[in-house]
Amino acid sequence: MSGLLSNALSGLNAANTALSVSGHNVANLATEGYSRQAVQFATAQGNLNGVKVSNVDRVVNSFYNDDIWRTSSDWAYYNGLQSYLGYAEELMGTSSLNFNDAISQVTGALNSALAAPESRAYRQEVLSSADALVNKMSQINGALTDQREKLSKEMTQTASSIGYTLRKLADYNDRVAVAVAKGEPTAELEDNRELLVTQLSSYIGIATTSHDDGTLDISTLSGAPLLIGTQAAELAVNGTEVSLTLGKQVFRLTDSIGGKIGGLIAADTGVLQPTVASLNVMLSQLSDEVNGVLAQGFDLNGNPGAPLFSYDANDPLGTFAVSDSITIDSLAFIGGKDDGSGNWVATGGVGDNSNIANLIKVFGNQSDDYSLLIGRLASKSNENQSNVKTAQALSDNAVQTRDNLSGVNKDEEASNILFYQQMYQANAKVISVADETFKTLLAMF
């Protein structure tokens, strides 16, 4: 008789625990990052000793979580890159700042000067169009400089967010390890920790390693340590260079680390810096070729031509300007030739325009490189926008796959509650039968 009662009582307790777990799941239906829990039953040791709750497990799959973290990192990378890539594409293609349009204006002014190369009005138009070209390049330089400053600030903010998240994760590692050592539940702590890891994965690509003591180590995709036990790394930003420090180890990060900060690094190394470098080459080449042609000609006073443009070789885009030495009269529109004795002399008088044709040819050869630059930016932007959409779809799919397993399903929990309720009632009925049987036995004496 005592066996019947103890069996029923164990079933009653097990059903009660199961009902509590299902109720807890339903209560957390809208809790972000919550992983549903499931009761594991086992036969109690001994002969006919009933049932016991062997464990209450979090229903999770580490591979599903890895997919979420990987796809979240990919989406954040492409999205972080796109804001700067799209801006550079738009800036370079803006009609009001277009290099090719400015070159066309200079060429147009030179074509007008062909009719009357000595005309001060035409000469002034050439200088004005050159000034307009310089102003447009100055505005582009200012816009790109502003973007790099904005990029540095965004990198700094992202690095700060990474550091803060890592410190919180270090604290959770400590709390989980203590709970494991004491044999206390860790489900809530692990849920909150995984939610933080998901946030971290959007900032930087990660790889994780779990340990028996419950702690979770985290590194970058290149192997640089971000979190070891309760020791968290710190990130520092200098301009647009990002470094990671843990203990005495220092790592310089590249765009290969992924996540938002990887996308920001890519925006600098793959978009802004190459754009500035291309413009530097174009402007230094333009200045050298134009000044070289002018040096072969003569001005209205019969003097060798003065340079039209000036620049600092260390920063052509930032220093590109109309030369201080150029004036209306010193524009060398008159051609030059070798007089046969090794002397370079003018080909004509003030009405000679033979050097203007050389200038028109030089300016006309400049547009191809700028068109190629715009084309590269447009192509890269289109490709990256496609990557953003693909990464978003993959991320959504990874989250859905995880939620299908770990998320709380109302219908499933309702079915579980009904089952455990019936289990509870059945065991209660056994106790009732045992009680009646016991009373019947007592009545026989």
Q: Of 180, 256, 187, 182, nearest to 224 (Cα)? A: 256
Distances (CA, A) of 4 to 164, 345, 434: 57, 123, 7
Q: Of 94, 89, 81, 73, nearest to 151 (Cα)? A: 81
Helix (H, G, I), strand (E, B) or coil at 81: helix
Which residue would you say has higher pLDDT here, 94 or 134? Answer: 134
Residue 374 binned pLDDT confidence (cut-offs 50, 70, 90): very high
Which residue would you say has higher pLDDT here, 365 or 119? Answer: 119
Cα–Cα distance measured from residue 403 to residue 409, given in angstroms and rounded to the nearest whole number: 9
Place of tokens 């009904």: 418
DSSP 281-344: HHHHHHHHHHHHHHHTSB-TTSPBPPPSEE--TT-HHHH-EE-TT--TTT---B-EEE-SSS-E
Sign of CA dihedral 266, 271, 276, 279: positive
pLDDT of res. 442: 66
Kindly report which listed range (40-44, 152-156, 433-437) carries the lowest average pLDDT score.
433-437
Cα–Cα distance measured from residue 322 to residue 50, given in angstroms and rounded to the nearest whole number: 95
pLDDT of res. 227: 97
Q: At what angle do helices 367-406 and 99-113 cross, to 10 degrees?
A: 170
Q: Decide: residue 87, CB within 10 A, 0-12 exposed, 13-18 middle, 19+ buried.
A: buried
Cα–Cα distance measured from residue 362 to residue 40, given in angstroms and rounded to the nearest whole number: 82
Are 68 and 252 in contact, with CB atoms under 8 Å apart?
Answer: no
Query: What average pLDDT does range 37-49 have in this prediction?
Result: 84
pLDDT of res. 228: 96
| pLDDT tens for each residue of 280-329 | 999 999 999 999 999 999 999 999 999 999 999 999 999 999 999 899 99
pLDDT of res. 4: 76
pLDDT of res. 155: 96
Residue 5 has pLDDT above 90, yes or no: no
Place of tokens 């192509």: 379
Residue 238 binned pLDDT confidence (cut-offs 50, 70, 90): very high
Residue 10 binned pLDDT confidence (cut-offs 50, 70, 90): confident
Cα–Cα distance measured from residue 61 to residue 406, given in angstroms and rounded to the nearest whole number: 8
Summary mean pLDDT of the chain:
92
pLDDT of res. 439: 67
Query: What average pLDDT does range 338-357 have in this prediction?
Result: 90
pLDDT of res. 428: 86
Cα–Cα distance measured from residue 75 to residue 258, given in angstroms and rounded to the nearest whole number: 9
